[in-house]
Structure 1
């Protein structure tokens, strides 16, 4: 088992990473403090793992909410549904919410936990690679609006994160690849050595080699835990985790949350950020190419989807929640492992970058 800790100013919580963890019900039961539990999952994940989660909670009052899968379900209507379920349960402040699924389920459940009676306990059980290495750790919770992603939300840390790597065996290959984009991000912004390790192990990662994938998850989570410990509410270093995300979120929004998966959009967004960095003279073209080649090796998209206009993407970027005083705030880099916050980049440069559309050359 990989056992990591997210250490915050007021408290800490564990991240447990192990094969077969869902078949160790005592680990989950130890995290439940009250008698009421609400499990939230989706129609893809629930048939596979809901019974295993419920099996260890037989002595409790357990309700389940199973929603359709997909980003479009991360909305205020679904949030309202969870609020009404908690009210019907007569759930008090000792209720525990369990997020069983990917990033959509984790974000939605966490936001509900943040709002019910001003904040109750919740547990993350991520079943997608993307959620394991990114959204399940750090306490960012939110729902989307038609105008943009994650515009309504709160910082609310989980009580624990339980990662059973065996769940990846049932994940569609496209979802695995999308999760690998967020793994690449940690190398790109923090750790050039890790980036090189990913280059060396690209085939094993795609094949879900148990040892290699567990190592990638653990190293990613360690980076996430360290930056969250330094900057829980994104006042400084934590903003670096948004490398590629301002571009990526604009792509998702413009596409109506029905085109690229989040990780795929982030892959394109990272390459756009690297391309912009190179054109601004901040980084080399060679490192832009290197990032593009790794993304291609991992079978991830590297171009803005056809039909999305640069001007429309720029319009969505203006509403990004990371912006300050009306200025688009991007994460760019000087080299692999050397990302930085870049406020005030001229919109004409951003527009030219969007018109180029990404894609490594050569």
Structure 2
């Protein structure tokens, strides 16, 4: 088993990575100082695969489990769905010692974490991610949120889990589109932090797509280590952590304008990374060769690489003003200055953004 510690003082927590770890969930929770009532949150897809198994594991470990199933997909990340989780938490008698356990992808993790952060001003939270995107990115770092019609993840908090348990075997049931979407975030880490990892992905992405266990464990561990390092430097995104948003300013605009769920998060981020790489090239940060390598790798894993034709540059830019990084009405982007290093730039003009969107 691979173990990574996210060092945040009193908010520190472990990330466990291995095949078959789901079987150990009850034992791990039993070792923690938790109440015996659990709110297990999953979605309709994951529930059919793992819901009964996880509930039985927790019950055998002595927990009283209330299961709530939300619709699969981005449209479940709403205040309305959160209200349903609060109702179930009240009905089940959750107190401040009782955990919310998120079993699923990024939507389930974000929604569950938002509820855990706000119910009784904070109850214990455990992440059990079952998609590649959630395992390499959204389950780590404590960003929890729901969407608003005017912007993605606008309503949220920073709230760290008590543990992240990553069972690599759950990826065997992941559909090909979701797997490719997760690879967008994997590639992001190579671009913003680790050029050797990016080069490894250029040579080995097919191994990930073919679900080779050794390749999956290496990728997940590498991404989690990078995210842990960034979060340890800047837990609440006051500066350096914003580099994790490379590709997301454009990507979130695509998701919002297309209607949440039309594009998977990773698909929208893939397009965003290419557009933002072109922004970096126009600022003489990236070379033409580096932009080409980014496009080729994203194309290699069959991710979309162009902005939907129905979205106008004007509408895209208007949507970007709801981005969380906007300060004093100034558009802010995380842009790579080379493959392997990224910086945050503020005050980009609408004209230079429109140029790369046209």
TM-score under structure 1 length normalisation: 0.96
Determine if the alignment matches structure 1 residue 269 to structure 2 residue 240.
no
* Equivalent residue number for residue 174 of structure 2: 171
Q: Deviations over 1:155-183 (max 9, x none)?
A: 10000000001000100000000000000
Question: Tell me, which stretches of 5 or more residues in structure 1 are unaligned?
Answer: 356-362
Q: Superposed, which structure 2 residues align to 1:228-243 within 5 Å?
A: 228-243=231-246
The SS at the match of 2:65 is strand
Cα distance between partner residues in 2 of 1:28 and 1:95: 11
Residues 11, 160 of structure 2: 8 Å contact kept:
no
Q: Superposed, which structure 2 residues align to 1:74-93 within 5 Å?
A: 74-93=77-96
Cα distance between partner residues in 2 of 1:105 and 1:93: 21
Cα distance between partner residues in 2 of 1:17 and 1:52: 19
* Equivalent residue number for residue 329 of structure 2: 326
The SS at the match of 1:330 is strand
Cα distance between partner residues in 1 of 2:30 and 2:104: 18
* Equivalent residue number for residue 109 of structure 1: 112
* Equivalent residue number for residue 47 of structure 2: 46
Structure 1 runs of 4+ off > 2 angstroms? 27-32
Cα distance between partner residues in 2 of 1:51 and 1:207: 27
* Alignment partner of 1:149 out of 147, 152, 155: 152
The SS at the match of 2:255 is helix
State the shift of 1:67 in Å.
Answer: 1.2
Cα distance between partner residues in 2 of 1:92 and 1:338: 44
State the aligned residue count: 355
Cα distance between partner residues in 1 of 2:40 and 2:30: 13
State the shift of 1:310 in Å.
Answer: 1.3
* Equivalent residue number for residue 214 of structure 2: 211
The SS at the match of 2:9 is coil
Residues 28, 56 of structure 1: 8 Å contact kept:
no
Cα distance between partner residues in 1 of 2:116 and 2:126: 10
Q: Superposed, which structure 2 residues align to 1:280-299 within 5 Å?
A: 280-299=283-302
Cα distance between partner residues in 1 of 2:264 and 2:5: 29
Cα distance between partner residues in 1 of 2:350 and 2:99: 45
Question: Tell me, which stretches of 5 or more residues in structure 2 are unaligned?
Answer: none
State the shift of 1:90 in Å.
Answer: 2.2
* Equivalent residue number for residue 129 of structure 2: 126
State the shift of 1:30 in Å.
Answer: 2.7
The SS at the match of 1:240 is helix
Residues 335, 345 of structure 2: 8 Å contact kept:
yes
Cα distance between partner residues in 1 of 2:250 and 2:11: 33
* Equivalent residue number for residue 347 of structure 2: 344
State the shift of 1:32 in Å.
Answer: 6.0
TM-score under structure 2 length normalisation: 0.97
